Structure 1
Amino acid sequence: MKSLTLAAAALALTAGLAPVSSLAQTVRMGTEGAYAPYNFIDDATGEVTGFEIELGNALCERAGLDCTWVRNDWDSIIPNLVSSNYDTIMAGMNINEERQAVIAFTQPYTPATPSAYAALSADVDVESAIIAAQTSTIQSGHVAETGAVLLEFPNPDQTIAAVRNGEADAVLADRDFLAPIVEESGGELVWVEGMDQVVLGEGIGMGLRQSDTELLETFDAQITAMKEDGSLNELILKWFGEDALVFE
């Protein structure tokens, strides 16, 4: 899922914050709650749910950790991790070099899934059009490097609305996020021709403070175990469908 404004995070990182012991207290799992199917709010219960929530809970159970979920807006999600408002990030966050300069990542728990452009017409020229993207994402960073006009929004749903109301010509986001929206639009939204498989980033992983090496190793070991026993692939197929990319 998902360049960040990292100055605040970097400042907090250099402030000498003490690491959190993964064995001494509840591990607070940070997420956005606005990026289905990775993480979103269940309308019936008001609770956060989704692929990452189920995966995070499974990782905690396997590791014998007491974990709780904390919601945070995307644009401040890294600074608030570094400031110890929670201990991990599971929020559709792609691993890239800029983020790795500020926080640590586990190995990816999804393959490097593609991004895609969606629009009201398949013939949009994405190199010169107005493109909507969520702020501080790898998609917004990609658009900024092209000849297109970047229109950023704090919430992913606002990027879709911008296309529908004519404010933007197309949206660029994780394909897994856009796919059900395109499918349920009844033909209103379509993939931009030749632009429905745009590979960005290195896959999605769990973010942690660089000082929390013990906690990172604990979660990394459990991700490896779930890859080896097939249970991670089962969760990917459950939440993203039978055609989803899985680990070999």
Structure 2
Amino acid sequence: MSKVVLVTGASSGIGKSIATYLHEKGYKVFGTSRNPKNTENFSFQMIALDVLKVETIETAVAFIIKKEGRLDVLINNAGMGITGPIEDTPTDEMRAVFNTNLFGAIDVMKAVLPQMRLQKHGMILNVTSIAGYMGLPFRGLYSATKGALELVTESISMEVKSFGINVVNIAPGDFATNIAAGRYHTPIFENSAYKENYRANLDLMDSHVNGGMNPLEMAKAVYDVINTKKPNIHYKVGGFMEKFSIVLKRVLPDKMYQKILMNHYKL
């Protein structure tokens, strides 16, 4: 019997690649977006879900359970990016990205867990980021949201293990998607003390995304995790240097690691 999979944020980018690939592999896939329009050519079914509105999460999950009788896998992918010097970034925008990337993901988990407990099995994959393992200049808030979700996943994975449910993180590096267009960019204020460095780093961040890996690689990694009987807690998907940067942070003195990052970002 084909597994039933819910993929949030599946209208484009990594989410769409994951949902399409799993559908091709024979899974019953439901993708979500806030406004699932112009999706009639998608190979999988799209339904409405806004991670900021709990009622839409509950409605979407109830629809899937009523239609299929179960829910085997949640790919918690919906999220947003944010850039900017912390001093210049509006605090309301900081709260918005935490509400989406952290609390939104938690609310989706809370909605699917009762069904997974009932059926005594299930898997939740939280899509985080390699950026969540380190504080990056002008991406501090994004790193913080993804790092927080990594830790929440560690906690909840222990809480639900006895119910037959596995909860794991899968952290991508830079992938060639439209995330740069959809993220919140703090404006480059003319009177900002960070104007020149921030402008240069915006160009650098966009070039990283444009030159990133094919999202299909992320989809293949998700497929492999789903089919692992005893999955790990953390998975990283990215280039060698992206993954190696996590190792360096563990072994190098703080100031040395910070200097490497500052050299990379020309600070």
Asked if these proteins are the same fold (TM beyond 0.5), I'd say: no
Q: TM-score of the superposition, structure 2-length normalised?
A: 0.28
| Greater relative contact order (Cα < 8 A, sep 6+) | 1
In proportion to residue count, which structure has more strand? 1
Q: TM-score of the superposition, structure 1-length normalised?
A: 0.30
